[in-house]
Amino acid sequence: MGLFNKLKGELIDVIEWLDSSSDTIAYRFERYGNEIKNGAQLTVRESQVAVFVNEGKIADVFPPGRYELTTQNMPILTTLNAWMHGFNSPFKAEVYFINTKRFTNQKWGTPNVFYVRDADFGRVSLRAFGAYTMKVIDPVKFIKEVLGTSGDFITEEIAGELRNLIVTQFIDAVGESGIPLLDMAQNYKDISEFCQKKLGEEFKEYGLEITKFLVSSISLPEKLQEKLDEGTGMNMLGDMNKYSQMKAADAMEGAANNPGAGGGMEGMMGMAMMQQMMNQNQMMQNQKQQNTQQSATPPPPVVQYFVSVNGQQQGPFNTEILKQMIAQGKLTKETYVWKQGMSGWSAAGEVPEVAGLFGATPPPPPPM
């Protein structure tokens, strides 16, 4: 560094920061040897705070305003340097400008799926995304806990750790809420407010405040969403029997075009579900006709079970389909099942109605 630059650094008399970025949280004012002239002018703009650090110790903090630096307005720095009768020569100190504005539209999301238990669908995997707004409310704590000896500090440098905090608290909040999956979308506001409250104390440990927290989407697994969309389409078509016949025809055509997939578990279940839907719809049509006759008696209710296959929910199936699955070795006494009225999933061998099916099912035929 040349002599002119050295003298210029020692005689500097204006300390200020003009921020042209949108993501800088902290900025260290740079000059030669950290030397500041006695009587230098300090300008702190709105949404800024200036913090003086002397030999690693935080000294005076200046809110927005214009100051002439003397021993009168730097009491802590004066004490640290033992200036009993003022000073006339340049002094050394680091100056950090902390941006106290709100940093908006900070993104968060679950990097992987997480699982919740739902009364309607059992164990379901979800993903969620959203945004949040934060600001520095305690510049001293922020410097101690986050900034350290860094110079410029931007939001991205702490975004990863804050996202981890958010995801952890969000998953806990969803689990504690007990809101059914089908009602999640209409409760985004309540979930957001609950998460913001839970995150408040953790953000304060960094000298930050989370001023707004938003959940923009909670997405269901693709296969489950397809089933829900099919149910919506079925309701829109109105004629349940025609809809089931159409889906059964589609399934049979798909199986014919792909013989390898038709013999697997997924193909068997798909065909069974279509057949079951047709049977149920036919029963509904028959019941409507019987209701017009005073002497007719309603058919007994059909008991249906859901089955857990490789961690995925399948069904519902009636007892006849369960027998087929047992005969093919797809359903064992250790397989978990659930039906309406059960408090949770149980092994098939522990459910009396299902356990009785194992004895009534013949073993597989001998090999050729």
Q: Domain range holding 239? A: 222-273
pLDDT tens profile 250-281? 555 555 556 554 444 444 545 555 555 556 66
Identify whether residues 173 and 186 lie together within a single domain: yes
Identify whether residues 122 and 55 lie together within a single domain: no
Calpha distance 150→254 (Å, rounded):
62
Identify whether residues 61 and 93 lie together within a single domain: yes
Identify whether residues 87 and 187 lie together within a single domain: no
Residues 6 or more apart in contact with residue 284 via CB below 8 angstroms: 240, 241
pLDDT at 208: 95
Q: What CATH number does residue 330 fall under?
A: 3.30.1490.40
pLDDT at 4: 41
Which SS3 state, helix, strand or coil, does residue 88 take? coil
Calpha distance 42→93 (Å, rounded):
13
Residues 6 or more apart in contact with residue 241 via CB below 8 angstroms: 278, 281, 282, 284, 285
Q: Does some domain include residue 123? A: yes
Q: Does some domain include residue 251? A: yes
pLDDT at 241: 55
Identify whether residues 91 and 110 lie together within a single domain: no
For each of the chain's 368 residues, which pLDDT tens digit applies? Answer: 444 444 444 455 789 999 888 899 999 988 766 678 878 899 999 999 999 998 888 999 999 999 998 878 888 887 887 775 566 667 788 899 999 999 999 999 998 888 888 887 788 888 999 999 999 999 999 999 898 777 788 999 999 999 999 999 898 888 888 888 878 888 899 999 999 999 999 999 999 999 999 999 988 777 767 766 665 555 555 555 555 555 555 555 555 556 554 444 444 545 555 555 556 666 766 776 666 554 555 566 677 888 888 888 888 888 888 888 888 888 888 889 888 888 888 888 888 888 888 875 566 667 76
Q: Does some domain include residue 279? A: no
pLDDT at 265: 47
Q: Does some domain include residue 296? A: no
The total domain count for the chain is 4
Identify whether residues 85 and 113 lie together within a single domain: no
Global pTM? 0.57
Identify whether residues 168 and 142 lie together within a single domain: yes
